[in-house]
Structure 1
């Protein structure tokens, strides 16, 4: 019975383990998803931070470059304005050589200046800042000369870059209109800025291997670009996406667009000069800007993947162990069930006679002692019937042992059905010897039970040629007593055995009590009759 009780807890655990496995699997899934989400958000945030830092850096550089270009042109324009005022007030011929030296002095003291020139109304050179004599050129075909001839405003005009006819270098022209006292066109005052001056300044900035700096007029004429390429000087960038976006969005902004010159994508910041029609754009390569971000993203993602693999491996190991435990518990349960079944079979074999199916001698002895002690405590009567098959040895010799076994099975069935009460015990105590233990039964009740069994066997009429009666019969010895503490259960068995001996010795096929109160032959017959 202990094995049967141990099965219940194992079975009850099943209902508790399954939700736990589901909870563990859900927790592991949530942890993995959370790690992936946190990693994704971290990578995205790092990228946005890197781009924001790059945008701030380009904005600061664009402001510095715009201020530099604006101050450079403003300085040149200031010098040029003074020259224009002097020329218009006193005339070119009044100054003569003195003005020439004055122009040379201005150029020598201003690093950004390449030269200064005065043209008359026909575009001929009137004065210049060159020290050595040069051929006389006519610049009436230049864009800035045509502009001042057709426009009466006296503001500074910044033209598209041109190659100087005197020095054959690229310069940025800054010019002003000269007028006669009556307001008519008198010529042009020109100051040229060396484009190499901007190039030297731009080279001092760290913009990476693929960054770019662009200085352009508002018409799209390229003034300077880093990286520098000679053949690009003066070309138009009006069709490039950056220039178009600057035109659409205004004086200040940023963009991530490719440039036609190399199709590389960059993060640009552009802004106008304060006083002059130029704009500056600084672009940092998107790939270079995000290079460190990519490296960190790959590294952190690799660690997260490794961590996820470890978690999944540990989870699978855990689930495998739980599965193995379930299998072991199932095997244990099956083993316990088999053990219970085996124990029941063993108990049945240990308590019952294998041939007749009724109790065996071991169970009979145990029940006899137990019932004897109980009767002693309670002061009740305990009766015992001992039965023996008449001439059973001859039956075996005549019919064979298989027939003898069948006969014993028949006797056992008759005894089982004739024991009357559930508390009575029918047992096979020897080869052809049987016993019926009758608790709470006196002698007369025991005789009734024994006689009923004997009559059922006789009534069956089972053939027994070696028996004088011609059929199978039994002899029964009966005894009953109220045991006391000084008595032993063997006394009950010995008395019933004496009664059995008496039944055999007096002709067999009968029930004989061994009762002191019925010691005479007549009294015993009277008891049997009753």
Structure 2
């Protein structure tokens, strides 16, 4: 029978030390694996966020150029091909190229591909572009959307450019030529250079047919290369609008974390890739440091088990403090994120949040169709109020006006924002004209109840002028935030011209050029 009395104190201590060492080894191994997974998860989230930001930047870049193309189409329709008309169009094109950093040039071609007018200082007409992919596409397709072509070398400058173009229709609807904007690839190169993607990382802008439009780093064969046969494009990018995947490159054998995302408004995609080894480099360094540390601890434990107990306690305290610090930082980050969306004076949403929200709502509307209303509100005679009562009282006045607007806007998904100065804006998703007018009237009535004194106004208290617009469309439109804001602003300015303290509805139709003004007598 086993005799416990024969086990010496040194034996018990030795068993204790060995047991503790085994526990530490197991815990360290598990902790290292956990940190490995956390590091990969955070890196994947970071690359996904960068891909989303770059997709939004690319959309904005092409949308800004497309707005210029639409303006040129309107100018050509108005002025025609007369000598004086082309001279005015040339001046307009030169000014537009100077105003947009991404825009390298503007060109107009006739139905044979001949140069009609362009943005160059000297009108150059000796080239013919009937062989370009954009020209062939527009000649064969009658569409109302812009076409983004494959990367080409400019015939006038020799630089690699991207093209965005629209078709010119003759009076009978037949093909009349092309209006073209070119974007210098160096514009994307300069922007992408601002992102830290490591030595083996990559950023790629491509079209949905697999053509590479731009890449960082830019390799000799990058521009125009086709990715149709690559596993990343075939198995992931082609099948999903966004996602992240870890895959080994067939070109250099580097394992990368790839996050990709389609552009919202154009048939393009963005890929942001980070080398897995570079992502885990810091983690690996920490692992080796900890291995050396644990080895030293195990040696110390071999000679003195009692000291290990104190070491473990200190370690637990340190880990607990680290977790608490991390939670505090996460809480602080969420607080700062919420504050960045709010106007510091009125506590409603700020202009930046309004712009993002309206763009998102219209992007969804253009894709899926639906109803959206917009209200623009301006405080009447606010300058007089500041001159009479002072700017401090003006700040309090704006706070009370913002509170009154929020009282009138009841739904959780509605957005109340300070548009600028004494002007506010309200976005009403899934709200038609009747609902928007009810909100506008409620807004004015709420402010009437406030009765904010204003001796310099005609009524004796603060009033507001309100412009309202509403759209109801099927999928497939390309309505821009600017157009909708202009419609609501027109109603707002007319409300001011007709005596203030009233609501004017501005009918918005994506098919019609002219809008109908509706005077809302009930809100006057």
TM-score, length-scaled by structure 1: 0.54
Aligned residue pair count: 304
8 Å Cα contact 1:171-1:194 kept in structure 2: yes
| Residues in 1 aligned to 2:270 and 2:126: alpha-carbon distance in whole angstroms | 36
Asked if 1:185 corresponds to 2:163, the answer is: no
Q: Deviations over 1:170-216 (max 9, x none)?
A: 11000001111111111111100111000011111122222211111
Q: Secondary structure at the match of 1:92?
A: coil
Distance 1:193 1:260, change over 3 A: farther
Q: Secondary structure at the match of 1:266?
A: strand
Q: Deviations over 1:402-437 (max 9, x none)?
A: xxxxxxxxxxxxxxxxxxxxxxxxxxxxxxxxxxxx
How do residues 74-153 of structure 1 correspond to structure 2 at under 5 angstroms?
Answer: 74-93=63-82, 95-134=85-124, 136-153=126-143
- Deviation for aligned residue 1:18: 3.9
Q: Deviations over 1:372-423 (max 9, x none)?
A: xxxxxxxxxxxxxxxxxxxxxxxxxxxxxxxxxxxxxxxxxxxxxxxxxxxx
8 Å Cα contact 2:117-2:123 kept in structure 1: no
Asked if 1:207 corresponds to 2:206, the answer is: no
- Deviation for aligned residue 1:20: 7.5
- Deviation for aligned residue 1:135: 5.3
8 Å Cα contact 1:88-1:178 kept in structure 2: no
8 Å Cα contact 2:248-2:256 kept in structure 1: yes
Distance 1:313 1:248, change over 3 A: farther
8 Å Cα contact 1:213-1:226 kept in structure 2: yes
| Residues in 1 aligned to 2:2 and 2:73: alpha-carbon distance in whole angstroms | 104
Alignment match, 2:357: none
Structure 1 residues not aligned, in runs of 5+: 1-11, 316-530
Q: Secondary structure at the match of 1:231?
A: coil
- Deviation for aligned residue 1:154: 1.7
- Deviation for aligned residue 1:88: 3.5
| Residues in 1 aligned to 2:67 and 2:2: alpha-carbon distance in whole angstroms | 96
Q: Secondary structure at the match of 2:82?
A: helix
Structure 2 residues not aligned, in runs of 5+: 306-524
Q: Secondary structure at the match of 1:295?
A: helix
| Residues in 2 aligned to 1:306 and 1:248: alpha-carbon distance in whole angstroms | 52
8 Å Cα contact 2:79-2:86 kept in structure 1: no
Alignment match, 1:240: 230
Alignment match, 2:37: 48
8 Å Cα contact 1:88-1:180 kept in structure 2: no
8 Å Cα contact 2:115-2:125 kept in structure 1: no
Q: Secondary structure at the match of 2:32?
A: helix
- Deviation for aligned residue 1:305: 2.4
Structure possessing the higher radius of gyration over alpha carbons:
1
| Residues in 2 aligned to 1:198 and 1:104: alpha-carbon distance in whole angstroms | 21
| Residues in 2 aligned to 1:49 and 1:251: alpha-carbon distance in whole angstroms | 25
Alignment match, 1:65: 54
Larger CA deviation: 247-256 vs 76-85: 247-256
Alignment match, 1:424: none
Q: Deviations over 1:314-359 (max 9, x none)?
A: 68xxxxxxxxxxxxxxxxxxxxxxxxxxxxxxxxxxxxxxxxxxxx
Alignment match, 2:298: 308
Q: 1:170 aligns with which of 160, 183, 201?
A: 160
| Residues in 1 aligned to 2:35 and 2:246: alpha-carbon distance in whole angstroms | 18
8 Å Cα contact 1:161-1:171 kept in structure 2: yes
Distance 1:180 1:133, change over 3 A: closer
8 Å Cα contact 2:51-2:259 kept in structure 1: yes
| Residues in 2 aligned to 1:158 and 1:66: alpha-carbon distance in whole angstroms | 15
